[in-house]
Structure 1
Amino acid sequence: MDIPQIHSTSDADIGSMGQTYLVTGKQVALRHWREAPGEFSESHCRDYETVGYLLSGVIELELDGGRATLHSGDSWLVPCGAPHRYRVVESVVAIEATSPPARFGGRDAC
C-alpha cells in the first residue's frame, strides 16, 4: 500500500522552465506556474498529456492549428504528442497535471 504524500511548496523543486513541482504519483504529477507576459514559445510536443487550470491571468494557446485565449477559470487539455505553443498575455498563475508524470525521465526538458 502506498503512503499518501503531503507536499509543502517550501520544499518543492523548481524545474528548468520555472515550474514548481508539487506532489507526484505513479500515474500523474502536479505542478504550479507563475509567469510574466512574453512572446510565443517555440512550438513543441511532449510525450505526456497535460491538463491545466488558469487561476489568474490570460494566455493564448496555439494547439494543433487552432488558437484560443484562456482567462481566469478556464482549463485546457494538450494531448500527448500534439504540437502546441503559448504566449502569456497577462501575468499568470496556473496549475497543471501531467500523465504520465512529466517530472521523471527528462520528460519536462525542452
Structure 2
Amino acid sequence: MADSTIKKVDGTHSPKEGAEKFLASGSNVAMRMWEDEQPNQDKPAVSRPYETVGYVIKGKAELHSEGQMVTLQPGDSYVVPKDAKHTYKILETFTAVEATSPPAQVHGRGE
C-alpha cells in the first residue's frame, strides 16, 4: 500500500543555512526557500545531482548556466537541469521558492 501520510513542516522550525530555508520534503521532491538573500558578486558555480525548478517572489538575480544567462525577477519561474554547472548573481535582495527532484537534503548535499 502506498504511503498516504500528510506531512507538515512548521516554518518556524524549518532548518536554515544562511538565506536557504528547507521546507517540506517527500521521497521524490523537496522544497526550499531562498529568503532575503543579499546582493553578491562572486558565488562559485556548482553542479547538483538534481533538477531544480524555482519561482521568484521578490528581488532580482542573474542565473548563469553553461554559457547562458537569464535575468530573474518577481513572477518569473526557471529550471536548472540536473548536473548543469550554474551560479546566481543576486542583484537586489532576493526571495525565491525552489523544488528539487530528487530531493536536495539539509545535510550532505555535496556543496
**1:100 matches 2:102:** yes
2:40 to 38, 41, 54: 38
Cα separation, 1, equivalents of 2:60 and 2:49: 25
Q: What's the offset of the Cα at 1:65?
A: 0.6
Aligned-partner residue type, residue 57 of structure 2: L
The aligned residue for residue 19 of structure 1 is 20
In 1, are the aligned partners of 2:15 and 2:106 still within 8 Å (CA)?
no
SS in 1 for 2:12: helix
Aligned-partner residue type, residue 100 of structure 2: T
CA RMSD in angstroms, aligned pairs only: 1.4
The aligned residue for residue 3 of structure 1 is 5
How many pairs align? Answer: 108
The aligned residue for residue 49 of structure 2 is 47
Q: What's the offset of the Cα at 1:2?
A: 3.0
Cα separation, 2, equivalents of 1:4 and 1:41: 36
The aligned residue for residue 80 of structure 2 is 78
Q: What's the offset of the Cα at 1:7?
A: 1.4
Aligned-partner residue type, residue 77 of structure 1: V
Q: What's the offset of the Cα at 1:104?
A: 6.1
TM-score computed with the length of structure 2 as normaliser:
0.90
Range moving further from structure 2, 71-80 or 2-11: 2-11
TM-score computed with the length of structure 1 as normaliser:
0.91
SS in 1 for 2:103: coil
SS in 2 for 1:57: strand
- Distance change >3 Å, CA 13–CA 93, structure 1 → 2: same
> Which whole-Å deviations, capped at 9, do the CAs of 1:47-101 have from their partners, x for residues lacking one?
1111100000000011111111111110110101101111100001110001011
Range moving further from structure 2, 88-97 or 6-15: 6-15
